[in-house]
Amino acid sequence: MFAVTATQTDPDNPLAGLTLGEHPEPKVPEGWTTVTVRAAALNHHDLWTLKGVGIRQDRLPIVLGCDAAGVDEDGNEVIVHAVIGSGADETLDPKRSLLSEVHDGTFAERVAVPRRNLVPKPAGLSFEHAACLPTAWLTAYRMLFDKAGLQPGATVLVQGAGGGVATALIALGRAAGYRVWATSRSEEKRERARALGADQVFEPGARLPERVDAVMETVGQATWDHSLKSLKPGGCVVVSGATSGAVPPADLNRVFFLQLSVIGTTMGTREQLARLAVFLEQTGLRPVIDRALPLADARDGFAAMAAGEIFGKVVFTA
């Protein structure tokens, strides 16, 4: 079958290890099944894998990709939950992994997954939109509705508008009745964030009209100081990534004096993915797709992500 694999890692030239071509059919352990992939979405996780982050060298070559929507062996249209783990909350399993870390991922004609990882795809969602949900949109859903626990009408600051999680946060927050503010270095991305539903947009580090109830943080070191200074007393910053660096000054005096909460989160549960799919079906909300490419043109999508030239999701179709 055709697949997109990581055959080597290079932190300086990640695309050097990106290989497109024939790959063995997936092995199917007991309790697993196969899904014929109709669409799969690109994440920064895939680029980090090519850089050598979070992957053991003895796992290579490995099929890349966490997210997919397709058809199971019984002909059902499904969404693939990317977290391989056990328990009521798979994300808390210390032995958890994502597809493409230990087991082959979704950038292939077929992928093997545990049967429990399949979520029904609502008929009203296209395969391309459904494929965007398991990582970026599920992470955003959990950040807003589980970890932050915000009430409608709350004000939320989204740092770094443009990436998959950030655009999902803006769209979901708007649909849920939050007042959403967003930052970006790019004027174009700020305007696109406004069009997506952001109430106001700002340059990074800008003084805000007022302090916010919560900050959604995926950028990390470059925006951390601004995130803490933007919070109301008792507010929270929810962290699901650190693309600009993971060790900013903690500013603990501000944290304890203003009784701020710093909440970490990773992905979401299968049940949350199922509810997210229903939420989109009921509201008519759909993920922003920057571009949809045939799987055979996956290198172009990786190059665009590496260059920071995307707004929303890159989707590969089989």
Burial letters for 236-265: b for 16+ Cβ neighbours within 10 Å, e otherwise? bbbbbbbbeeeebeeeeeeeeeeebeebeb
User: Quick check: 106 and 40 in contact, CB under 8 A?
Assistant: yes
pLDDT given for residue 164 in this prediction? 86
The amino acid sitting at 157 is L
> What is the chain's length?
318
Same fold across 2-132+287-317 and 137-264? no
Q: 234: which 2 tokens?
A: 């008792």
Average pLDDT over residues 250-257: 97
- For residues 120-136, average pLDDT: 97
> What pLDDT band is residue 249 in, cutting at 50, 70 and 90?
very high
In this prediction, residue 214 carries a pLDDT of 98
Residue 79's pLDDT band, with cuts at 50, 70 and 90, is very high
Mind listing the pLDDT tens digit for each residue in 168-195? 999 999 999 999 999 999 999 999 999 9
The pLDDT of 270-282, averaged and rounded, is: 97
β-strands 68-72, 18-22 pairing: unpaired
Helices 44-51 and 298-306 cross at an angle (nearest 10°) of 90
- Overall average pLDDT of the 115-138 stretch: 97
Q: What are phi and psi of 182, to 5 degrees?
A: -145, 150
133-175 pLDDT tens trace = 999 999 999 999 999 999 999 999 999 998 889 999 999 999 9
- pLDDT value of residue 311: 87
What is the pLDDT, as a whole number, of residue 307? Answer: 93
In this predicted model, what pLDDT tens digit does every residue of 2-27 receive, in sequence order? 999 999 999 999 999 999 999 999 99
Confidence check: pLDDT of 89 > 90: yes
What does the DSSP 8-state code read for residue 149? -
Q: How far apart are CA 19 and CA 165, in angstroms?
A: 26
Choosing among 3.90.180.10, 3.90.930.12, 1.10.10.10, 3.50.50.100, the CATH entry for 2-132+287-317 is: 3.90.180.10
Mean pLDDT across the chain, nearest whole number?
96
- pLDDT per residue over 32-71, tens digit each? 999 999 999 999 999 999 999 999 999 999 999 999 999 9
Q: CA 13 to CA 45: how far, in whole Å?
A: 15
The per-residue pLDDT for 243 is 85
Closest CA to 98 of 20, 43, 57: 43
pLDDT for 299 beyond 90: yes
Dist. CA 41–CA 294, nearest whole Å: 11
Any idea where the domains of the chain sit in the sequence? 2-132+287-317, 137-264
pTM to 2 decimal places: 0.94
> Over pLDDT 90: what percentage of the chain?
94
Q: What is the pLDDT of residue 98?
A: 97
Please list, in sequence order, all residues whose beta carbon lies within 8 angstroms of the beta carbon of residue 171, skipping any fewer than 6 positions away: 196, 197, 285, 287, 288
**CA-to-CA distance for 10 and 256, rounded, in angstroms?**
41
- 83, 127 in Cβ contact below 8 A? no
Which pLDDT belongs to residue 162? 83
Strand order in the sheet with 261-264: 200-202, 179-183, 155-158, 212-217, 231-239, 261-264
Q: In which residue are the tokens 């029904």 written?
A: 120
Cα–Cα–Cα angle for 43, 49, 50, nearest 5°?
105
Tell me, which fold does domain 137-264 have in CATH? Rossmann fold (3.40.50)
